[in-house]
Chains A and B, each alone.
Chain A
Amino acid sequence: MTDNKGVRVLTIDDSRTMQGMLRKVLEGAGYDVIQGGDGVEGLEVLQAANPPPKAVITDINMPRMDGFEVIEAVRKLDQYKHLPVIVLTTESDPEKKARAREAGATGGLSNRSVLKVCWRQSAGLRPEGKGAGMSGDMDDILLVFFQECDEQLQELERGLSALSDGDSDHETINAVFRAVHSIKGGAASFGLENLVRFAHVFESSLDGLRSGRIVPTHDIMKTFLKAMDVLSDLVSEARGGAGVDHVRVAESQSELEAIINSDGAPKPAEDVVPQDFVPVPMDFVPVPMDFEPIPVDMDFGFDAPEAAPDLVVSFRPHDAMYERGDDARNLLIGLRDLAVAVEGGAMTATCDTSGLPAFNALSPTRSCLSWRVVLPAAVSEESVHGVFDWVSDVCDFSITHEGAVEETPAEPEPAAIVAPEPVAPVAQAPVPVVAPAAPVHDVAPAAVTNAIAGNQQAPARKAEQVASIRVDLHRIDDLMDLVGELVIAQAAIEALSRRNDGSIQQELTQSINSMQSLTRDIQDAVMAVRAQPVRSVFQRMQRVVREACSMTKKDVVLLLEGEDTEVDRTLVEKLTDPLTHMLRNAVDHGIEKVEDRLAAGKPAEGHILLSAGHRSGRILITIKDDGGGINRQRVLETAVKRGIVAPDAVLSDDEINNLIFAPGFSTAATVSDLSGRGVGMDVVKQAILSLGGRVTIQSVPGEGTTFSLSLPLTLAVLDGMLIEAGESTMVIPISSVVETMMIDHRDVYLLPDGGNIISIRGTCMPLIPLAAELGLSKAPTQEALANAVILVVENESGGRAALVVDEIRDQTQVVIKSIEKNYRQISGVSAATILGDGSVSLILDVPALIGTAIRKIDNRPSNVRTGLAA
Chain B
Amino acid sequence: MIVFAIGDQEYCIPILSVREIRGFEKTTALPFAPHYVCGAINLRGIILTVIDLAIYLNIQPQADNPRRVAIIVESKNGVVCGLLVDRVIDMADIDMNDVQAVSEESSSLSGLVMVNDRMIGVLQLETVVGELVGDMVTE
- Where the two chains meet, the residues of A that have a C-beta atom closer than 8 Å to any C-beta of B are 481, 484-485, 726-728, 774-776, 817-819, 821-829, 832, 834, 838-842
User: Contact: A840 with B31, CB < 8 Å?
Assistant: no
Minimum-distance CB pairs A-B, first 4: A774-B31, A840-B28, A840-B40, A822-B48
Across-interface contacts of A825 in B (CB, < 8 A): 136
Bound Cα distance A832, B47 (Å): 8
Partner of B40, one of A481, A776, A819: A819
Q: Give complex CA distance A775, B32 in Å.
A: 6
Tell whether A822 pairs with B79 under 8 Å between CB atoms, given A834-B42, A840-B42. yes
Chain A residue at minimum C-beta to C-beta distance from B135: A824
A824: chain B residues at CB < 8 Å are 132-136, 138
Residues of B within 8 A of A (CB): 26-33, 39-42, 45-49, 79-81, 132-136, 138-139
* CA–CA, A825 and B32, complex, Å: 10
Could you write out 17 A-B pairs with CB less than 8 Å apart? A726-B29, A776-B29, A817-B45, A822-B80, A822-B81, A823-B81, A824-B133, A824-B134, A824-B135, A826-B30, A828-B32, A838-B42, A840-B27, A840-B28, A842-B30, A842-B31, A842-B40
Identify A774's interface contact among B32, B42, B136, CB under 8 A. Answer: B32
Q: Which residue of B lies closest to A841 (CB)?
A: B28
Contact (A817, B47) CB under 8 Å given A824-B132, A824-B136: yes
Cα–Cα distance between A838 and B26 once the two chains are bound (Å): 10
What is the CA–CA distance of A684 and B79 in the complex, to the nearest angstrom?
27
Say yes or no: A776 contacts B31, CB within 8 Å: yes
The residue on A at minimum CB distance from B33 is A826
Query: Which residue of B31, B39, B133, B135 is within 8 Å of A829 (Cβ)?
Result: B31
- Minimal Cβ-Cβ distance residue in B for A831: B47
Q: Is the CB of B47 within 8 A of A827?
A: no
| CB-defined contacts of B29 to chain A, threshold 8 Å | 726-728, 776
Q: Which residues of A contact B33 (CB under 8 A)?
A: 826
**B49's closest neighbor in chain A, by CB?**
A823
Contacts of A839 in B (CB 8 A): 26, 28, 42
Residues of A within 8 A of B41 (CB): 840
Q: Is there an interface contact between B28 and A728, defined as CB atoms closer than 8 Å?
A: yes
CB <8 Å contact, A817 and B46: yes
Q: With a CB–CB cut-off of 8 A, which chain A residues contact B135?
A: 824
Q: Which residues of A contact B134 (CB under 8 A)?
A: 824
Query: A484's closest neighbor in chain B, by CB?
Result: B45
- B residues less than 8 Å from A834 (CB atoms): 42, 45, 47
Decide: B46 and A822 in contact? CB cutoff 8 A. Answer: yes
A556 to chain B, nearest CB (A): 39
**A775 & B31 in contact (Cβ 8 Å cutoff):** yes
Assembled-state Cα–Cα distance A817/B48 (Å): 10
Q: How far is the CA of A824 from the CA of B34 in the complex (A)?
A: 11
Say whether A481 contacts B45, CB under 8 Å. yes
CB distance from A139 to the nearest CB of B (A): 28
In the complex, what's the smallest C-beta–C-beta distance from A465 to chain B, in angstroms? 39
Chain B residues whose CB sits within 8 angstroms of the CB of A838 once the complex forms = 42
Nearest CB of A to B34, in Å: 10
The residues of B that contact A827 with a CB separation of less than 8 Å are 31-32, 138-139
Tell me the minimal C-beta distance from A590 to chain B in angstroms. 33
| Nearest B residue to A775, CB-CB | B31
Q: A775-B32, A776-B29, A829-B31 are in contact. List 11 more A-B contacts (CB 8 A).
A: A728-B29, A819-B30, A822-B47, A822-B133, A823-B133, A824-B133, A826-B138, A828-B31, A840-B42, A840-B47, A842-B30
C-alpha gap A841/B134 in the complex (Å): 23
Residue of A nearest to B132 (CB): A823
* B-side contacts of A841, CB under 8 Å: 28
CA distance A59 to B135 in the complex (A): 61
User: What distance in Å separates the Cβ of A838 from its nearest Cβ neighbour in chain B?
Assistant: 6
Distance in Å: Cβ of B51 to nearest Cβ of chain A: 10
